[in-house]
Amino acid sequence: MTYQVQQAVSGSPLTAEERTEAIQFANSAAKLAADDAFSLAVAGHVLTYIGRSYDRGFSMTAEAVALNANLATAWHSYGWVALMCDEPDKAVQCFDRLLRISPLDPHRKWTWNGKAFALFCLGHYVEGCKWAEKAVQFRADAHSLGALIINSIGADRSDDARKAAAHLLRLKPDFRASHSYENYPVRSLATRERIFEAFQAAGLPP
């Protein structure tokens, strides 16, 4: 999970060695603690985000919430995996459930961010901007600013998108629009292309 957060926050793709090690650790966790909701949720999340094992990750995170429906981490991972598996409606449901059971969750910024991405996928850009702005105010990084950029472009708020892109480049001068393919690995190629095009429209270098 540390590798996953490293890539998400920085916006820079992992090295091949880092990807391999993250996947190995996630597979080990899934094998050693198959009846533990936390381990299943985290491992399934990593295997989806880094390993692109979409169906397996979805099954593991669904099992995690079945094992412990009151575990915020399980709903967090299930929501993000559902989002990556092209099920944004399911993702919104998971994030809303998490916010009900853990409204002051220390990782709630990621929940707001996930909801912003899901709303982008659903074409609800104005509402997506609202949740992305909350995430950016909590902590601005490549992932939260990315959510704000794409929703702002979708909502025809080009000035806001360009400001967010400039903020991102101040934080990460080497960020490129093409990093989006690794940083936001949705299974749908069409969605990945929409994200890339939105980044370019906001003025990020290709």
Q: What is the pLDDT of residues 75-111, one digit of tens each?
A: 999 999 999 999 999 999 999 999 999 999 998 999 9
What is the Rg, in whole angstroms, of the alpha carbon atoms belonging to the chain?
16
Confidence check: pLDDT of 36 > 90: yes
Q: Averaged over 141-164, what is the pLDDT?
A: 97
pLDDT score for 19: 97
Single out the residue of 163, 156, 160, 96 nearest to residue 125, CA to CA.
Answer: 156
pLDDT grade, residue 158 (50/70/90)? Answer: very high
| Spacing of C-alpha 202 from chain mean position | 20
pLDDT score for 57: 98
pLDDT score for 143: 93
pLDDT score for 66: 97
Single out the residue of 48, 70, 204 nearest to residue 61, CA to CA.
Answer: 48
Q: In a 10 Å sphere around its CB, with 0-12 CB exposed, 13-18 middle and 19+ buried, how is residue 100 labelled? A: exposed
* Phi-psi label, residue 122: left if phi above 0, alpha if psi -120 to 50, beta otherwise: alpha
pLDDT grade, residue 30 (50/70/90)? Answer: very high
Mean pLDDT computed over every residue of the chain: 96
Single out the residue of 54, 37, 44 nearest to residue 23, CA to CA.
Answer: 44
pLDDT score for 34: 83
What is the C-alpha to C-alpha distance for residues 133 and 130, in angstroms, rounded to an integer?
5
Confidence check: pLDDT of 114 > 90: yes
Confidence check: pLDDT of 58 > 90: yes
Q: Averaged over 176-185, what is the pLDDT?
A: 94
